[in-house]
Structure 1
């Protein structure tokens, strides 16, 4: 049989495969299968018995103001006795082809190992800043603390406040996941199932000014973990740092995740005792180039012809013309202006890497060197650098 979607009768065996493949405790697994699992988005490789599974969780991705329905690939798992048979390749390819048939244009994936998924055309497209430091090195300003609330049972007002804070933060981003009221309801359940906490800060005049998702017993209680922290002002940031520092008798170190180019380094004054790393977080790949680029409104005054190399999805291995009206497929591969692989095109289209970077690293190949300067100039206008943020786990 091969590729199919799950049915109600399959849930127990899928759950067993999930538990076997991932190092999760029972409460996290219970949360996922009770709240996030849907057979409509669970793809299987079934040859008289289920051998492999993956989830295609639906999200709405905002790309430069345009809404794009996408599927977030999670939970890729193969039973041990069937590993080494390229079932991941078969299942993922069948899933992406099915998504294309259903009108999909782009796919997201959070990798365990980027090299594994690069072979399928995925590339890093979303990063974050990760701070690792000792509790004693957290700097706070005691005169600027705000009122805070630890959310025990989330209310409609809490959701509204958190949603407004996220919306305020997302105004600074070009590409991000849309989060509605239902998203935050589920997020609260997810965090609670993992022994995490959500704090909201308030100003007497402005109302809610920030929220923090905090795990005080991360890695078995050896450190604290801030999964997400958004703040409208320095007082809100100071408040959350004060809360973290108040746990100094419970753990010595903390890890804090932030959007790239956050205010945290400036707030602390670039302390050399604090380690700051850029963490590649999410990979992406365009699965339908013409549809995706047209949805983004890509066009050019003078037609450019590009050849896309997609070694995983052969249907994309062809020429495309970027014209003054739209992007269209072309059966004629003569007079190609440049060649680019699908992963690099995804990075450029999402603004993760600039055109100059792509040229220097030879991600773009020019067939006629004398045209290179004009093509580069055009591509810079078509694909400007952008700011992105994604911090969604399942």
Structure 2
């Protein structure tokens, strides 16, 4: 008989064994230590058949930035099942309990990296992030003029404070990114083998940018490239170019937001590709609407979420009332006389978090709007696409 419980440290080895079997990553003491470290910072759901771990889901608490505010997010990872026990609805049962826990704990968002987009849509998740990949021959890496500052390679202990400071100064101006905690930096960089770190110092010896990279089998992989100034951009760009005689290819993948670090190049980058990345679920629509920036809203209206079977509190009609003092009041109702937008939880997420425009979703009939409502509410939606530079 199956039983769901939250697993503790004594079950971490079982968790690792199941995850390693499911994802076929390296089975080593180093990987096991990193996995256990993540489990220590997570809530770990397991479905058991007697003493056997049949299925598991890891939920890691994070903070994310949306609308220049910090919100709680639950990162879902290592969703895995032993094939001996598949077919019993175990992941469904875990996800139902996990989402209910998130709702009760005030966790507003949940992110995950899907093995199947259709599979996770059933739980109310939808694609929100994309990634752009650049492959550049060592002969074709663009040349830039050298700035007056310098780039120095550092070990993790020397680099970590500067990396955290610069990341916070840049990514917190974006939508959707993680507000990284100290433990996550250790997991992401220090505990992952093969990372090198380089810092750009300006003429006053102030760190203005950083580079995290790897070199393996003739490929220079840019893990993260962040800069506060144009000089820091050029300095790190030049530093990367200095490895052209040591490698055959440069590879850089970053969150796709319509921008590129190569737009100043004389020749466009020829090998550029994009791929879908992580999905997002808004756990609590009513709580989300209460923190959403409606300052440009001129007209009261209502939104109907057609169905969210794994988060039934999201199904229904939500009225957004603009008061005479410009305050916005959110109310869940059984029926409404206000102009109505009707959509799914998935398309609501893409619209209100900036991945898709109102016009596009209306065109493809993913939204049903009453006449005149599109023009009345078009100004309230984000114009900036969300980005994410982390994976779990």
Instruction: Find 1:227's aligned residue among 223, 233, 240.
Output: 223
Cα separation, partners in 2 of 1:171 and 1:99, compared to 1, 3 Å: closer
Q: Which residue of 2 aligns with 1:43?
A: 45
Matched residue, 1:12:
13
Gaps of 5+ in 2: 323-327
Query: Which is further off, 89-98 or 10-19?
Result: 89-98
Deviations 1:14-40 (A, max 9, x none): 111111112322266234234222275
| Paired residues for 1:79-98 under 5 Å | 79-98=82-101
Q: Equivalents in 1 of 2:130, 2:167: separation in Å?
A: 18
**1:211 Cα deviation (Å)?**
0.9
Map 1:195-206 → 2, pairs under 5 A: 195-205=194-204
Superimposed CA distance per residue, residues 314-333 of structure 1 (whole angstroms, 9 cap, x where no aligned partner): 33221111122322211226
TM-score normalised per structure 2: 0.88
1:309 matched to 2:309? The reply is: no
* Equivalent of 1:341 in 339, 344, 353: 344
Q: Which segment is superposed worse, 32-41 or 58-67?
A: 32-41
Query: 2:319·2:338 contact (CA, 8 Å) conserved in 1?
Result: no
The residue correspondences of 1:25-174 to structure 2 (distance < 5 A) are 25=26, 26=28, 29-38=31-40, 41-48=43-50, 49-141=52-144, 143-144=146-147, 146-155=149-158, 158-170=159-171, 172-174=173-175
Q: CA RMSD in A?
A: 2.5
Instruction: Work out the CA distance in 2 between the residues paired with 1:349 and 1:246.
Output: 43
Counterpart Cα distance in 2 of 1:174 and 1:153: 27
CA distance in 2, matches of 1:267, 1:73: 38
1:354 is aligned to 2:360: no
User: For residues 360-375 of structure 1, what are the structure 2 equivalents within 5 Å?
Assistant: 360-366=363-369, 368=370, 371=371, 373=372, 375=373
Pairing partner for 2:389 from 380, 388, 391? 391
Q: Deviations over 1:179-238 (max 9, x none)?
A: 244443443323xx3312121111122611211111212xxx253321211122343333
Aligned-partner SS, 2:162 = helix
* Contact 1:355 1:379 (8 Å CA) reproduced: no
- Secondary structure of the residue that 1:121 maps to in structure 2? coil
Deviates more, 1:336-345 or 1:324-333: 324-333
Instruction: Could you tell me which runs of 5 or more consecutive residues in structure 1 were left unpaired when the two chains were aligned.
Output: none
- Cα distance, 1:339 vs structure 2: 0.9
For the 8 Å contact 1:320–1:330, the answer to whether it is kept is: yes
- Residue 389 of structure 1 deviates from its aligned partner by 1.9
Distance 2:293 2:231 in 1: 40
CA distance in 2 between counterparts of 1:40 and 1:389 reads 23
TM-aligned CA deviation for residue 131 of structure 1: 1.1
1:213-270 Cα deviation digits (max 9, x unpaired): 11212xxx25332121112234333333344344445542222123434452223234
Change (3 A) 1:181 1:16: closer
8 Å CA contact 1:133–1:254 kept in 2: the answer is yes
The CA distance in 2 between the partners of 1:39 and 1:198, in whole Å, is 25
Q: Map 1:179-328; keep pairs closer than 5 Å.
A: 179-190=180-191, 193-205=192-204, 207-217=206-216, 221=217, 223-248=219-244, 250-259=246-255, 260-272=257-269, 274-298=270-294, 300-313=297-310, 314-324=312-322, 325-328=328-331
Confirm or deny: 8 A CA contact 2:12 2:39 kept in the other structure. no
Contact persistence 2:132–2:274 (CA under 8 A): yes
Change in 2 beyond 3 A, CA 1:145/1:113: farther
- Structure-2 change in CA distance of 1:5 and 1:246 (3 Å): same
